[in-house]
Chains A and B, each alone.
Chain A
């Protein structure tokens, strides 16, 4: 954790404050359209981002179709679509 990149995390939370409420329940990844056919796991990705482990995330996020199904089941009302778009932006910089 000492080595983690917390600046990007702060930027992510600033633009998608609902992500603060995530409890890592895995409903998003369970229901995810892309995850049905590939190894793509949105919960693992946002958890890794949150912990500053961002190495291969940009590439992984390419599998997301932004369909928004994950948002429909999230019990904490996390705005996942915005979260994904913002993660992509931050990873591109």
Chain B
């Protein structure tokens, strides 16, 4: 019988493990953290339907509950290499097939110095905003209820200055989702989203955008914020241009939320680099993004999920399942 290893317990890794186990295969799944699931643990609600993230996470977790799946937490990967007989060795254990599902990390907003993140407390990342939404309590730098909240798109994506030319794909709809959630908690606040382009590509995303305008009174400003800094009273002053008006503007807000993009996780960078399957920006690379998107240049080594490129939860689950099917087919 084949023995399979999966590295990473995000949605792609979990779904792959469950699929392999359902086909009567023994699977070892490794997680460097002390608990499985990865980034979904930080989410409050999922776009576009506001599904409770904990509930979805619970369903994913239940997929791991199978006698053929062995979960190893606190197990970072120190060693991953091909064995002479065409198998793979992971931390000294031998497998016939290995799936890399090491996922993404969010962009460190502190790298965009002109946006003041980490310096002024009124400036938060979308990750911290999600945390506030989980707690159902949004506060400004002084711990009070904010009257005005500004979201800024494309932080660390589509930006020559950070070296990330790509679009992170999820932050547009995430901002709209967070803005709507914010409105539910703060019915009287003014809520703005500053954007360069709004990319509502997925099913129900455009409808969410319409809802944000129509039902939730979110205001959309077409312009990039070039600088942000603190004011003496703990607020944030922003410089931008309303490009549709052709007018530069300054706006003072209680909270500025930076919609941080997706980058390959440390594990993705390191393992993809080590196995020479590094694609653009340190993401892992499959053979062909259209027709052969789970195999890699090495026999027996596969990739799935957001270790390849920015990907939604939905797509990562489907991709994990697809990787499992390919691994099974290769015997």
Contacts and interface: CB of A to CB of B under 8 A. Distances in A.
Do A and B form a real pair? yes
Contacts of B224: 25-27, 30, 73, 75
A41 interface: yes
B197 interface: yes
A20 interface: no
B312 interface: no
Contacts of A23: 196-197
A45 B193 CA distance: 25
B243 A26 contact: yes
Measured as residues with beta carbon below 8 angstroms from the partner, the interface class of chain A is 20 to 34
A17 interface: no
A58 B197 CA distance: 30
Given A43-B243, A76-B160, A30 B227 contact: yes
Nearest to B112: A73
A29 interface: yes
Interface residues of B, number: 23
Nearest to B114: A73
Contacts of A28: 226
Contacts of B240: 26-27, 30
B154 interface: yes
B227 A26 contact: no
B246 A27 contact: no
Interface in B253-312: none
B173 to A, nearest CB: 19
Interface string A43-71: 11000000000000000000000000000
Contact of A25 (B114, B223, B248): B223
Given A23-B196, A25-B223, A75-B224, A31 B160 contact: no
B180 interface: no
A30 B241 contact: yes
Interface of B: 114, 154, 158-161, 196-197, 222-227, 239-243, 246-249
12 contacts: A25-B223, A26-B248, A29-B248, A30-B223, A30-B225, A30-B227, A32-B248, A43-B243, A72-B114, A73-B224, A73-B227, A77-B160
